[in-house]
Structure 1
Amino acid sequence: MRLLLRLAVLLALFFGAYFTLERLLVYPLDPRAITPSDSRIAVTKVGSMIVWTAAPQRGKPTILYIHGNAGHVAKRTARFQRLMDRGYGLVAPSLRGGNGSKGWPTEAGITADMTALYTAITNGQLTGTPTTPILYGESIGAAVAIQLATTNSPKAVILESPFTSLKDVAAHLHPQLPLATGLMLSRWPSIDRAPKVKAPLLILHGTRDNLIPPSMGRAILAAAGSSQKELYPVQGAGHINIWTGDAQRRMYKFLRQF
């Protein structure tokens, strides 16, 4: 009995340490609550999330911007400013554990948060006018956007460096650790969900992305159920320098349809 008890304790410690490590690796978020440097951006709270918002100009859509897993939402300020300069509304939530947002980041928790946020946008609670947003997701945020698009009907979807699944990314980066890959709690199986994405779709993917191979972006494009879909290969870009002049011009051309 003592042996079994010790074994149970050791297993609990192992799995506890493993899943804590997974959280740190998958969601290395900056917890500091930072005030936006642009006065056009307001800060509000939806559930446990800290959300940055800006109302659209008349006739312009609102973009629900879901950032990637690294750093801080404040690091995207220059992007937000370019969108606001062109009249687009902005709703930019911070994932659980980042920028003062409370909670432990998990796939189920983040999905629930973003579903509630999407409803708040369509009800007009955040920008003052009921609206159907355009989804923009970067990296792991692209997986969140895909999930949202399977259960909602956004005006359009823009994905930056999407992956087929988080397990596939782990296997790509660490092929020598198949057991650890199999134990992952966060799966984000975007390739399985992509067929349910019906909205117009634009994918931006760097041709030199070593973290998420361009082949994953192409796979998401092929699987997507959208009748209007395109992958724009950003020449020479890696994983974090997608917003080149050419990529932005292609994105704004896509956005002008809506």
Structure 2
Amino acid sequence: MRGCFADVVRFLLYRPMGDHSLETKVPPENRKVFPVVAQDGIETTSYLFHEEGEYKSKDVLVFMHGVSDTTEMRRRDAGDIRERTGKNVYVVGYRGFCRNSREWPSMRRLVLDGTASVSALKEEVKGDAIFYGQSIGAGVAIQVAKIHRPKKLILEAPVVSMESVLRNVLGVWEGLYTVSWKAIGKTAFLSKKTSPVLKTLLFWFLWPKTTN
């Protein structure tokens, strides 16, 4: 019964973010959309911003965003990084964010998406990959790096304690939950002991909200 109630709350509250695409200075001919299908059949979209001319042999910065971001929101940043570094920039899309599937995300599922996205990229670009993971994307980058060995791995503000995130979000209500963050080598987002309702509330507070 509790699981059924949580599913109802999840359906009412959880919505992927609307299309808040930020304009980019990268011309259309230097952008490429990658439709990606993960191992479990879920479809996502990733974006490549590449240099002029022969770009397929150049290095590529593979960006894996955090929990309050989307690939579409990072389009402008990707264009700026491309201009400054002269490298290709690839923004990995996850299920449950913006234009992607409504499938409920978990660390295991995000890793499936990241792995499939990098596989699709490698069919197009043969240069070395540099993984850049931000926030929860750092955890995704670490897991994907076990399969697709990058030249370098950059981690920005990696999430290593979901309990601390919950404390910041819930404040005085922190006594109502039971949660543990499994070792970063595990593909788990929240402990099985965590109430499904509290999981829903967590995602509601942290996920980008629909405003259109």
* Deviation at residue 173 of structure 1 after TM alignment: 4.2
| Cα distance in 1, alignment partners of residues 21 and 73 from structure 2 | 10
* Deviation at residue 149 of structure 1 after TM alignment: 2.2
Q: Which residue of 1 aligns with 2:31?
A: 41
Indicate if the aligned counterparts of 2:32 and 2:47 stay in contact, CA closer than 8 A. Answer: yes
* Aligned with 1:66 (options 43, 59, 64): 64
**SS of residue paired to 1:177:** helix
* Aligned with 1:193 (options 185, 194, 202): 185
Indicate if the aligned counterparts of 1:63 and 1:90 stay in contact, CA closer than 8 A. Answer: yes
Indicate if the aligned counterparts of 2:139 and 2:184 stay in contact, CA closer than 8 A. Answer: no
* Deviation at residue 141 of structure 1 after TM alignment: 1.3
**SS of residue paired to 2:177:** helix
Q: Which residue of 2 aligns with 1:90?
A: 89
CA pair 103-146 structure 1, distance change in 2 beyond 3 A: same
**SS of residue paired to 1:157:** strand
2:166 maps to 1:170: yes
Q: Which residue of 1 aligns with 2:192?
A: none
TM (norm. structure 1) is: 0.55
CA pair 19-179 structure 1, distance change in 2 beyond 3 A: farther
Alignment of 1:114-193 (within 5 A): 114-122=114-122, 125=123, 128-174=124-170, 176-182=173-179, 189=182, 192-193=184-185
Q: Could you tell me which amino acid in structure 2 is paired with residue 110 of structure 1?
A: L
Number of aligned positions between the proteins: 172
* Deviation at residue 96 of structure 1 after TM alignment: 1.1
Superposed CA deviations along residues 157-205 of structure 1, whole A, max 9, x for unmatched, are: 11121121323422454464355342x8xx5x4x5339xxxxxxxxxxx
Indicate if the aligned counterparts of 1:63 and 1:88 stay in contact, CA closer than 8 A. Answer: yes
Larger radius of gyration: 1
Alignment of 1:232-247 (within 5 A): none
Higher relative contact order (CA 8 A, sep 6+): 2
| Cα distance in 1, alignment partners of residues 162 and 149 from structure 2 | 24
| Cα distance in 1, alignment partners of residues 162 and 8 from structure 2 | 19
Q: Which residue of 2 aligns with 1:52?
A: 47
* Deviation at residue 101 of structure 1 after TM alignment: 1.3
| Cα distance in 1, alignment partners of residues 16 and 67 from structure 2 | 6
Structure 1: unaligned runs, 5 residues or longer = 1-8, 195-258
* Deviation at residue 46 of structure 1 after TM alignment: 0.8
CA pair 33-102 structure 1, distance change in 2 beyond 3 A: farther
Q: Could you tell me which amino acid in structure 2 is paired with residue 160 of structure 1?
A: E
Superposed CA deviations along residues 192-225 of structure 1, whole A, max 9, x for unmatched, are: 339xxxxxxxxxxxxxxxxxxxxxxxxxxxxxxx
| Cα distance in 1, alignment partners of residues 135 and 184 from structure 2 | 17
**SS of residue paired to 1:192:** coil
Superposed CA deviations along residues 72-131 of structure 1, whole A, max 9, x for unmatched, are: 333323321222112111211222122321141222221111111222233xx2xx3324
- Identity score, percent: 22
2:3 maps to 1:12: yes
Structure 2: unaligned runs, 5 residues or longer = 38-42, 187-212
Divergent runs of 4+, >6 A: none
| Cα distance in 2, alignment partners of residues 45 and 107 from structure 1 | 21
| Cα distance in 1, alignment partners of residues 185 and 64 from structure 2 | 17
Q: Could you tell me which amino acid in structure 1 is paired with residue 114 of structure 2?
A: M
